Amino acid sequence: MGKLFAVILVIIALASAYPIATHVFVLPEDISTHGHAIDDQLSDTMAEAGFSFLGAQLVLAFFVWKFAERKAGAKLSNIPGGAKLMVAIAFIIVGAEVFALGVLGQKAWANVYFTPPRADALQIQAQAGQFAFYFRYPGADGKFGAIHPDKIDEGNQNYFGLDPANDVESRDDIVTGELAIPVDREIHLLMHAKDVGHSFYVRELRIQQDFVPGLDLSVHFTATKIGKYEIVCTQLCGLGHYNMKAYLNVMSQDDFEKWLKQKASEQ
Amino acid sequence: MQEVSAQQAHVHAPPETFLRKYVFSLDHKVIAKQYYGLGLLAVCIGMALSWLMRFHLVWPNAHIPGLELLSKAGAPGGVITPEYYLSLLTMHGTLMVFFVLTNAPFAAFGNYFLPIQIGAEDMAFPRFNMMSFWVTFAGFIVLILAFFIPDGPPIAGWTSYAPLSAVGKDAGPGMAWGMNLWGISIALFCIGSLLGSLNFIATTLDLRAKGMTLMRMPICTWAWFITACIALLAFAVLLPACILLILDRLAGTSFFVPSGLVISDRLQPHSGGSPLLWQHLFWFFGHPEVYIAILPSMGIVSHILINSMRKPLLSARVIIYSMMSIGFLSYMVWGHHMFVSGMNPFSSLMFSFPTLTITIPATIMTLVWLGSLYGSNLRITSASLFAIGFISMFVSGGVSGFFLAQPSIDIVLHATYFVVGHFHMVMGVASIFGVFAATYFWFSKITGRMMNETLGKLHFWLTFIGTYCIFMPFHYLGLVGNVRRYSSFVDDFMAPWLGWHKFITISAFVTGGAQLIFIFNLIYSRFKGAPASENPWEATSLEWSVPSPPPWNNFGGKHPVVYHDPYQYGVNGAKGDYIMQDSPEPDPVGS
Amino acid sequence: MSAAIHQVATASQTLPRVSTRPGSAAKVRSGAEAASRSGIWVAIFTITMTFAAFTSALFVRQGSGGDWVHFALPSILYANTFALLLSSVTLEMARRSVAAKHMIDSESVPLISLWLFVTLLLGFSFLVGQYEAWRQLAAQGFYLATNPNSSFYYVLTAMHGLHVMGGIAALVFVMGRLAGTHAAFRRSTFESTVIYWHFMGVLWLYLLLVLRTKL
């Protein structure tokens, strides 16, 4: 039965690796300026993990094939090199992987988090609440009006709790349910949570960031391809979590300005 | 009662009443069986919940007969609502992580065999031991109660992130008393685990038989001991976190809830709390918890593998030191659950390095297991099949850790099915494989009867292939960005991949069904199995030197003396190719 | 938690009665006695970890909210501190009386019991004083949920108080053993109780420092 185990394990290992090797399951095409570094890191890791996976499974299968249920009295032996060799291999191979992935690969992370947004990045505010995203553009004055949680009133579509009566800066703010952005322009997304934790995840943008109540964070990115993409919530936020979605609409600069004007007139 | 030496004293008198024998027993073996039974009950419920979830994911509108009886609001007409899906998910995770993966490999088998393997008559504090089970059991009952209150079980997931978990009924169904019960249940579980761990540690340190030096302890004893040390730290942190959470919910404090939250159109009466504080406290427990689940199985698998290979591992020391370093490192990596949580991005790098480093001891262990197979004479039994199956699962689940340890890749894979596949394989399936191996191996010792090997092997094949069919595709779906904790994927990006979900669901039903073979085997063999001898596997450690099942005081009042390392296999002993630990024969030349 | 600690001290009642043999405690420590000793140290380690978690929560919470308001600690706390520290001294006197005897006989019981009784009284007065401190704070309008400082004040003192109650239960247990057939009195249980009680004092000093500097 040891041989059966070996055969089945080889089949499982190869079948598991096949869809990966043939790129059946890949993320949708990257539309960001920083995403290629993440994709490269992902495929490097895939190569190393795939090598470790196949190596270990095939060796396990081979050893079980060869050494299971031998004749009684078969001579026992130890692998040349013994435990020392195993430890050395682990340190050298895994040490190299840790070094390669850990040290060199931090660039992809640094691209996203250690470079500040450009001064001329377009600021947009995103607010996540159960179970919808809303977005706010600062309008002509370039300033966002302050948020007053006590003034939030979904019935009157005051999703952000603005106070236009007393707050001049909020009067020209444009609030929308979709995130429209111009292509090839850096966006600085200011993130605010209205109630509980949520997350902002756009697969094509290679961006995922939690909304933390009480802690306003921000992300910045540049989209390079016109199109409509799904924004999903990835932090469990309550009963409507599965349905908490919005769209990212990447437009040409002209279309974006038109869109913004139209939205401003609808406010 | 005979004269007692200081070293081995009768820890308790033989139990006489029914209550003392089977219910409030002080005997570590009975307590172990209680833990095992609780784990079995919890795993059955947990698996049934996962079936409901899998079913709902692919047939969201199908009627499940009888389900409306369990929850009228959650499943009107037998159709699961999105919020009830989250209830099922929360209860599945909580039951499995706490009441199965912590109870079965650690509390159950550790309780049974740690004292016997070190030659003790019982745990150091039998009353504690009994309390630890009953407190855990109370925690279980409190958790299960959530199904039967009008509010229903909580929907915040097993991680119970604040503020969702901390604000009460405004957060949604199940978030009033359902969530309170969760908090109380976990606090009780913490107390139970702390008592248990304290016992494990004191017993290992002080109740070892003559000649049983630390390095002569079997690897699984080491694993339970190290796990107890980890658990002691981890649950000591989760307990305060639960207390603070309960206070936020019931006393109106603001530890985790910040100001200005508007939930269900109501401005919440809290101010200034920190949601990230909950995450830090929770994951400071949560990551070590992964090792609390897997380390005992590593030890069990090593123990069984050596017996089946008929030769010692290349180095037991290396395995023990690797387990220690994993335990140590497990306290430096909790932040890798929080890469995209808004934590300082520099911290992410600080957490990434130790996380990647943990692969070194894990690889060393894998290579030592693999290398030891070389030149062995592996006996194929249900137990050894599950042991080598464990290695395969551990590798498969382990390599996906490479991805998730890196913050940059975590940006795209966080909260996807890739994570779900990863932890199910390495923490769930691998550790359960250890429990299966342990059950097939030690059943004869515990009951005095052999388990049926044919059924055992059939169970192995279905489970081994089945779990791969379930959890490999999880990884694939995660790679295309399939988000977890969604109750359905109607009308979205995931539409083209739904066929894979169907495949997973069918595999889950088949694999789950195969577990009935195991349960049948347990019951059948308990009553009809072939009688087991004292040492059916020709093994060397002390548990095989006592009758099957062992008498109430383990060694029948004798005091075992240990002369050897635990694994004298492949030698010319008086009995065969092995020398038992308590055999006074001299060590074979060259060993 | 208090129940847990109570058990730390009492679980060893099921252990062999070896320590009453003359000189046995001093010469060889049996496995069971050693286990009782390691048990109490492991418990102390766990409790330390629990309070470390509370403390780090306090630090994080102080930094997160911007709503940290300092308030003056009730001065009765210092009297309570004195009572608790004094109780450690009296318990130490009891321990020395026990240690001086190879065998506990009816002659030595009254003195040991007296020291234990004084310790117990001081322990109770500490708890009563802590309760009085709560009442004083409540009178000033500081309740559990008033602000983060008062929340932490109540949580930390309540958790410590529960642990002290566990110590008191252990003391009562030891006194009961001493008063009955004192053959049942075991040095290992007694010594573990003493270690635990001293630890309660140390833990309180630490908490007082945290409360004093942070709240």
Q: Could you tell me the CA-to-CA distances from A90 to A23, B306, B363, B368, C16 in Å, in that order?
A: 29, 21, 6, 10, 48
For chain B, say whether A146 makes contact (Cβ under 8 Å).
no
Q: Do B277 and C49 touch (CB under 8 A)?
A: no
Q: Which amino acid is at B103?
A: N
Q: Do A76 and B376 touch (CB under 8 A)?
A: yes
**Bridge partner list, C129:** none
Q: Could you tell me the CA-to-CA distances from B355 to B159, B224, B351, B359, B389 in Å, in that order?
A: 20, 22, 6, 7, 25
Instruction: Tell me: pLDDT of C11 over 50.
Output: no
C8: closest chain B residue by CA? B128
**Rounded Cα–Cα distance for residues A61 and B426 (Å):** 19
Instruction: Tell me: pLDDT of C65 over 90.
Output: no
Confirm if C14 and B126 have CB atoms less than 8 A apart.
Answer: yes
Instruction: Tell me: pLDDT of B591 over 50.
Output: no
With contacts defined as CB-CB under 8 Å, which chain A residues touch B257?
A: 213
Once rounded to an integer, what is the mean pLDDT over residues B250-276? Answer: 93
Once rounded to an integer, what is the mean pLDDT over residues A185-194? Answer: 96
Q: Do B274 and C65 touch (CB under 8 A)?
A: yes
Q: Which amino acid is at C104?
A: I
Confirm if A98 and B359 have CB atoms less than 8 A apart.
Answer: yes
SS3 for A136? Answer: strand
For chain B, say whether A218 makes contact (Cβ under 8 Å).
no
With contacts defined as CB-CB under 8 Å, which chain A residues touch B400?
A: 49
Q: Tell me, rounded to whole angstroms, the distance of Cα A221 from its chain centroid.
A: 12
Instruction: Tell me: pLDDT of B400 over 60.
Output: yes
Look up residue A59 and give its two tokens. Answer: 């060796």
Confirm if B431 and B293 have CB atoms less than 8 A apart.
Answer: yes
CB-CB: which of A69, A83, A93 is closest to B318?
A83
- pLDDT grade for B490, boundaries at 50, 70 and 90: low
Confirm if A213 and A196 have CB atoms less than 8 A apart.
Answer: yes
Using a pLDDT cut of 90, give the percent of chain A over it. Answer: 82
For chain C, say whether B259 makes contact (Cβ under 8 Å).
yes
Which among B278, B248, B89 has a CA at the least distance from the CA of A213? B278
**Worst-scoring range by mean pLDDT, B240-249, C20-29, C170-179?**
C20-29
For chain C, say whether B343 makes contact (Cβ under 8 Å).
no
Which among C168, C128, C154, C140 has a CA at the least distance from the CA of C207? C154
**Rounded Cα–Cα distance for residues A98 and B531 (Å):** 51
Q: Determine the pLDDT at residue A106.
A: 82
Q: Crossing angle, helix C31-65 and helix C2-10, to 10 degrees? A: 160
- pLDDT grade for B18, boundaries at 50, 70 and 90: confident
For B44-50, the CB contacts below 8 A with 24+ separation are: B44/B519, B45/B91, B45/B95, B45/B144, B46/B91, B46/B92, B46/B95, B46/B96, B46/B99, B46/B100, B47/B512, B47/B515, B49/B88, B49/B89, B49/B91, B49/B92, B49/B95, B50/B92, B50/B508, B50/B512
For chain C, say whether B206 makes contact (Cβ under 8 Å).
yes
Q: Determine the pLDDT at residue B589.
A: 56
Look up residue A262 and give its two tokens. Answer: 């139209």
**Rounded Cα–Cα distance for residues B194 and A81 (Å):** 42
Interface test with A, best of B411, B492, B494 (most A CBs within 10 A): B411
Q: Do A199 and B415 touch (CB under 8 A)?
A: yes
With contacts defined as CB-CB under 8 Å, which chain A residues touch B156?
A: 236
For chain B, say whether C20 makes contact (Cβ under 8 Å).
no
With contacts defined as CB-CB under 8 Å, which chain B residues touch C45?
A: 232
With contacts defined as CB-CB under 8 Å, which chain B residues touch A206?
A: 411-412
CB-CB: which of C11, C30, C57 is closest to B128?
C11
Q: Looking at the complex, report in whole angstroms how far the Cα of residue A1 sits from the nearest Cα belonging to chain B.
A: 7
Q: Determine the pLDDT at residue C29.
A: 53
Once rounded to an integer, what is the mean pLDDT over residues B418-425? Answer: 97
Strand-pair category, A217-222 with A227-232:
unpaired
Ranges of beta strands (E only) in B244-311 are 262-263, 266-267
Q: Do B274 and C12 touch (CB under 8 A)?
A: no
Q: Do A194 and B261 touch (CB under 8 A)?
A: yes
B431: left (phi over 0), alpha (psi -120 to 50) or beta: alpha
**Rounded Cα–Cα distance for residues B547 and B530 (Å):** 15
**Rounded Cα–Cα distance for residues A235 and B161 (Å):** 9
Positive or negative, the CA dihedral A153, A158, A161, A163 is negative
Q: Could you tell me the CA-to-CA distances from B441 to B376, B380, B381, B453 in Å, in that order?
A: 19, 12, 9, 11
Q: Determine the pLDDT at residue A197.
A: 96
Q: Do B272 and C54 touch (CB under 8 A)?
A: no
Element (DSSP H or E) covering residue B443: helix B430-447
Confirm if A56 and B395 have CB atoms less than 8 A apart.
Answer: yes
Instruction: Tell me: pLDDT of B259 over 70.
Output: yes
Confirm if B570 and B312 have CB atoms less than 8 A apart.
Answer: yes
**Rounded Cα–Cα distance for residues A54 and A51 (Å):** 5
Q: Do C67 and B125 touch (CB under 8 A)?
A: no
**Rounded Cα–Cα distance for residues A105 and B54 (Å):** 36
Domain covering A122-266: architecture: Sandwich (2.60)
Q: Which amino acid is at A120?
A: D
- Chains adjacent to B (≥3 CB pairs closer than 8 angstroms): A, C
**Rounded Cα–Cα distance for residues B422 and A53 (Å):** 13
Q: Looking at the complex, report in whole angstroms how far the Cα of residue B232 sits from the nearest Cα belonging to chain A.
A: 29
Spatial CB neighbours of B225, under 8 Å, sequence gap ≥ 6: B114, B200, B201, B204, B217
Q: Do A237 and B164 touch (CB under 8 A)?
A: yes
Q: Determine the pLDDT at residue A130.
A: 93
Q: Determine the pLDDT at residue C17.
A: 35
Q: What is the pTM assigned to this prediction?
A: 0.94
- pLDDT grade for B533, boundaries at 50, 70 and 90: very high
Domain ranges of chain A: 2-68+80-113, 122-266
Element (DSSP H or E) covering residue A59: helix A35-67
Instruction: Tell me: pLDDT of C1 over 80.
Output: no
Q: Do C49 and B233 touch (CB under 8 A)?
A: yes
A56: closest chain B residue by CA? B395
For chain B, say whether A51 makes contact (Cβ under 8 Å).
no
- Chains adjacent to C (≥3 CB pairs closer than 8 angstroms): B
CB-CB: which of A5, A27, A79 is closest to B412?
A27
Instruction: Tell me: pLDDT of B161 over 60.
Output: yes
**Rounded Cα–Cα distance for residues B222 and B224 (Å):** 5
**Rounded Cα–Cα distance for residues A252 and A249 (Å):** 10
Q: What is the DSSP letter of A99?
A: I
Average pLDDT value over all residues in chain A: 93
Which among C193, C131, C123, C186 has a CA at the least distance from the CA of C157? C131
**Rounded Cα–Cα distance for residues A119 and A109 (Å):** 21
Confirm if B300 and B438 have CB atoms less than 8 A apart.
Answer: yes
Once rounded to an integer, what is the mean pLDDT over residues C81-105? Answer: 91
Q: What is the pLDDT of residues B318-343, one digit of tens each?
A: 999 999 999 999 999 999 999 999 89
**Rounded Cα–Cα distance for residues B20 and B18 (Å):** 6
Q: What is the DSSP letter of B51?
A: H
- Give the helix ranges, DSSP H, for A93-227: 95-97, 106-113, 168-171
Q: What is the DSSP letter of C12?
A: G
Q: What is the pLDDT of residues C146-194, one digit of tens each?
A: 999 999 999 999 999 999 999 999 999 999 888 876 667 788 889 999 9
Phi first, then psi, for residue B449 (nearest 5°) are -130, 150
With contacts defined as CB-CB under 8 Å, which chain B residues touch C15?
A: 9, 11, 124
Q: Determine the pLDDT at residue A240.
A: 93
Q: What is the pLDDT of residues B110-141, one digit of tens each?
A: 999 999 999 999 999 999 999 999 999 999 99
Look up residue B46 and give its two tokens. Answer: 């947990």
Interface of B with C in 114-173 (CB under 8 A): 120, 124-128, 131
**Rounded Cα–Cα distance for residues B347 and B324 (Å):** 24
Q: Which amino acid is at B279?
A: Q
For chain C, say whether B517 makes contact (Cβ under 8 Å).
no
Q: Residue B577: is it exposed, middle or buried by C-beta count within 10 angstroms (0-12/13-18/19+)? A: middle
- Give the helix ranges, DSSP H, for A116-164: none
Q: What is the pLDDT of residues A109-150, one digit of tens each?
A: 888 888 899 999 999 999 999 999 999 999 888 899 999 999
- pLDDT grade for B16, boundaries at 50, 70 and 90: confident
For chain C, say whether B399 makes contact (Cβ under 8 Å).
no
**Lateral strand order in the sheet of A207-211:** A179-182, A245-251, A227-232, A198-202, A207-211
Which among B471, B114, B42 has a CA at the least distance from the CA of B296? B114
**Bridge partner list, A153:** A158
Confirm if C53 and B245 have CB atoms less than 8 A apart.
Answer: no
For chain B, say whether C140 makes contact (Cβ under 8 Å).
no
Q: Determine the pLDDT at residue C183.
A: 67
Instruction: Tell me: pLDDT of B88 over 90.
Output: yes
With contacts defined as CB-CB under 8 Å, which chain C residues touch B130?
A: none
Compute the CA torsion angle A84, A88, A90, A92 (nearest 10 deg).
Answer: 180
Once rounded to an integer, what is the mean pLDDT over residues A17-46? Answer: 94
Q: Which amino acid is at B380?
A: I
Q: What is the pLDDT of residues B178-210, one digit of tens each?
A: 999 999 999 999 999 999 999 999 999 999 999
Q: What is the pLDDT of residues A224-241, one digit of tens each?
A: 999 999 999 999 999 999
Q: Looking at the complex, report in whole angstroms how far the Cα of residue B358 sits from the nearest Cα belonging to chain C.
A: 23
Q: What is the pLDDT of residues B438-458, one digit of tens each?
A: 999 999 999 999 999 999 999
Average pLDDT value over all residues in chain B: 93
Confirm if A251 and A182 have CB atoms less than 8 A apart.
Answer: yes
Q: Residue B156: is it exposed, middle or buried by C-beta count within 10 angstroms (0-12/13-18/19+)? A: buried
